[in-house]
Amino acid sequence: MKVFLKLALFYGIINVFIEESLFNYPEYFPKTKYDFSKNNLSKTKIELGRMLFYDPILSIDSTISCESCHSPYNAFSHTDHRLSHGINDKIGKRNAPPLFNLAWKSSFMRDGAVNHLDMQSLVPITDSLEMGNSLDNLLYKLKKNQKYITMFYEAFGDSTINLDRVLKSISQFELTLISKNSKYDRFRLGEDHFSDQEIRGYELFKKNCSNCHKEPMFTNYKFENNFLDINQVLLDSGRFSITKNSDDFMSFEVPSLRNLSYTYPYMHDGRFSNLFEVLKHYSGPKFNSVSLTEKETIDIISFLLTLNDKEFILNPENKFPVNKLLK
Amino acid sequence: MSNKFEKFAATCGFFFKYFISFLFIFFTYNLFPQENIEFQATFNNEATKLNKNYSIRKYHFNIKKLKFYVSNISYYNRKNDEIFTDEKVYLVDLNNPKSLKIKSQINKKSQLYSFDLGLDSVINVSGSLGGALDPIEGMYWAWQSGYINFKIEWESNMCSNDNNQFIFHLGGYKKPYYNKRTVLVKKRHIHRLIFNLNKFLKKINCDRQMIMSPSLKGENISNLIVKSFEFKK
């Protein structure tokens, strides 16, 4: 009995240790929102999720993977395209957002249409403009694939392939995409310092922007109206389309401002192709509260660039699983 | 000689054990008989089949799909005046005869009290749950998270237009469209829960033949569904 207890304790400690090493973040980050108790992280499940993320097998004609619109080199967004492209080059309705620090979010998509990370993948998989697949066909394709039979076995202890497991594994991989090694983060930890220009930019940012783009995640996770004119082609009214509440007209989820150098173009429809255009919008007549001189604009941009996380972009653990997927 | 006797005794003992277990099962079964609840849909008082033509006067009806979630089945225990609830979620599908029967807690002491059509908000925001709640069942709205509580699709010439299709996918877990409905039974000896399609279809008008998201019209249809349930022994 005692031996058993000791073993159990040992196993527990090891497990906590493993989990911590799979998911850790700086002390100044807020608490996560994702309920890990319902989807315990494990190395094999994360690896399986990574495979699924990069594998075009998820789309109806095996041409499009999640990566097609969420590239690791763009902090998992889709650079150079205002709107996303799906199967048969169909154009989507919005600019693909970057994917990182997802464990801190409790709603997804620019209008918050999706309420849980696990359920998010259902949208691109079944959307006729994205991967155009059916859930039955997805499972059929995976069940025929020896590689997946083995990986599901390794991850779950038996080779049952069902949707629940697919969704949770993709979540596991996405949850491990944590951006926390920018210059700003090193500054917070006292490991680096800001230039005078960056400090001026930081002060201006705190005054003008951090209400919505709140540190250290650079979003307050709310839906806000930043006074963009409605896109006359897409007629995307943002949060309003979900709540039908007139207060929400043209409100969009406040995006994080980490990794901006990798995620252009900006806003839900990709209307601004660089940060000067963005800042011009914020100092324009619409956005009354802010009036920025050219010098101040440059100062703010220099601060925004401290939020780039090169380590995250280059992290090999986030990238295409070459040895597995091409084998 | 003694050897044979021992064998005989052993065989008797063997059967005796079975006999005792049999008696035990028999009596407990009778003391606490577990009875099923059965869902039915009826058309002109007969059990409805999918893809079969029914008619009411000059109109014909053909039910294509009837599928809904049942949760929080509650029982009233007369003896200690208590209500207790089955936490399980059931997906009732006319296309799957097995799903129509649900093992109940009805017995001499307790009777059916109520059940919910649809799912509460906690389930709706809990991510992937598997089983009856697996989105593979076609009862989940991916593009705007949330479960479809009640799905009914049929064809009919009941409206004077070219469109014979009716598709009602009812759901919603947030105000103002909190779509889950509680159906009160509160009668003794009820086992059969009957969705009376005559009652339901009589009240359908032609202003909207398609509902695919939480809406006021959907809420009204759900109220009508509750009123169309009947209870039988």
Q: What is the pLDDT along chain A (327 residues), one digit of tens a residue?
A: 566 666 655 555 555 555 568 899 999 999 999 999 999 999 999 999 999 999 999 999 899 999 999 999 999 999 877 777 766 666 678 899 999 999 999 999 999 999 999 999 999 999 877 788 899 999 999 999 999 999 999 999 999 999 999 999 999 999 999 999 999 999 999 999 999 999 999 999 999 999 999 999 999 999 999 999 999 989 999 999 998 899 999 999 999 999 999 999 999 999 999 999 999 999 877 776 667 899 999 999 999 999 999 999 999 999 998 877 776
Show the domain range for A235: 183-308
Q: Using beta carbons and an 8 Å cutoff, which residues of B are at the interface with A?
A: 124-130, 134-136, 140, 142-146
Does any domain span residue A16? no
Does any domain span residue A167? yes
Shared domain check, B84 and B23: no
Shared domain check, A223 and A89: no
Interface contact A118-B128, CB threshold 8 A: yes
Does any domain span residue A257? yes
pLDDT at B8: 66
pLDDT at A244: 87
Residue B190 backbone phi and psi in degrees, to 5? -85, 130
Interface contact B129-A123, CB threshold 8 A: no
Shared domain check, B48 and B27: no
Shared domain check, B213 and B116: yes
Output the CA torsion sign for A160, A165, A167, A170.
negative
Shared domain check, A230 and A132: no
Q: Cβ contacts (< 8 Å) between B130 and chain A: which residues?
A: 162-164
Shared domain check, A206 and A166: no
Shared domain check, B57 and B26: no
Shared domain check, B40 and B2: no
Q: From the list A136, A139, A168, which residue is nearest B128 (CB)?
A: A168
Closest residue, chain B, to A119 (C-alpha): B127
Q: From the list A119, A126, A163, which residue is nearest B127 (CB)?
A: A119
Shared domain check, B41 and B26: no
Shared domain check, B56 and B13: no
- pLDDT, chain B, mean: 89
Shared domain check, B184 and B165: yes
Q: Tell me how far apart the alpha carbons of residues B112 and B106 are, in angstroms, rounded to a whole number.
A: 6
Interface contact A163-B129, CB threshold 8 A: no
Closest residue, chain A, to B215 (C-alpha): A244
pLDDT at A267: 96
Shared domain check, B84 and B9: no
Q: Cβ contacts (< 8 Å) between B215 and chain A: which residues?
A: none
Q: Cβ contacts (< 8 Å) between A162 and chain B: which residues?
A: 130, 134, 136
Q: Cβ contacts (< 8 Å) between B140 and chain A: which residues?
A: 119, 122
Interface contact B142-A126, CB threshold 8 A: yes
Closest residue, chain B, to A170 (C-alpha): B128
Domain count, chain A: 2
Shared domain check, A193 and A164: no
Q: From the list B130, B136, B145, which residue is nearest A119 (CB)?
A: B145
DSSP string, B142-177: STT--BEEEEEEEEE--SSSS--EEEEEEE-EETTE
Shared domain check, A175 and A190: no
pLDDT at B32: 54
Interface contact B127-A113, CB threshold 8 A: no
Nearest to B79 by CA among B33, B35, B31, B111: B111
pLDDT at B1: 47
Q: From the list A115, A116, A163, which residue is nearest B136 (CB)?
A: A163
Closest residue, chain A, to B174 (C-alpha): A243
Nearest to A291 by CA among A274, A277, A299, A279: A279
**Per-residue exposure over A141-163, b if at least 16 CB sit within 10 Å of its own CB, e if not:** bbeeeeebeebbeebbeeeebbb
Shared domain check, A53 and A150: yes
**Per-residue exposure over A306-316, b if at least 16 CB sit within 10 Å of its own CB, e if not:** bbbbeebbebe
Shared domain check, B63 and B92: yes
Give pLDDT < 70 ranges for chain B. 1-6, 8-17, 19-34
Q: Cβ contacts (< 8 Å) between A127 and chain B: which residues?
A: 142-143
Q: Percent of chain B at pLDDT above 70?
A: 86
Domain count, chain B: 2
Shared domain check, B52 and B75: yes
Domain end residue (candidates: A179, A214, A232): A179
The structure tokens 């009204």 sit at B220
pLDDT digits (tens, 9 = 90+) for B4-38: 666 766 666 666 667 666 666 655 555 555 688 99
Shared domain check, A259 and A145: no
CATH of the domain at A260: 1.10.760.10
Shared domain check, A267 and A155: no
Shared domain check, A265 and A215: yes
Does any domain span residue A6? no
Shared domain check, A188 and A169: no
Say if A40 is an interface residue toward chain B (CB within 8 Å). no
**How far does B57 lie from chain A, in Å, by closest CA?**
40
Q: Cβ contacts (< 8 Å) between B216 and chain A: which residues?
A: none
Q: Cβ contacts (< 8 Å) between B136 and chain A: which residues?
A: 135-136, 139, 162-163
Shared domain check, B200 and B104: yes
Shared domain check, A156 and A209: no
Encoded amino acid at A107, one letter? S
pLDDT at A226: 93
Does any domain span residue A242? yes
Cα–Cα separations (whole angstroms), residue A242 to A109, A245, B184, B209: 11, 8, 32, 22
Shared domain check, A57 and A171: yes
* Residue of B124, B128, B217 to mutate, testing the A interface (most A Cβ within 10 Å of its Cβ): B128
* Residue of A32, A121, A142, A163 to mutate, testing the B interface (most B Cβ within 10 Å of its Cβ): A163
Does any domain span residue A20? no
Show the domain range for B1: 1-31
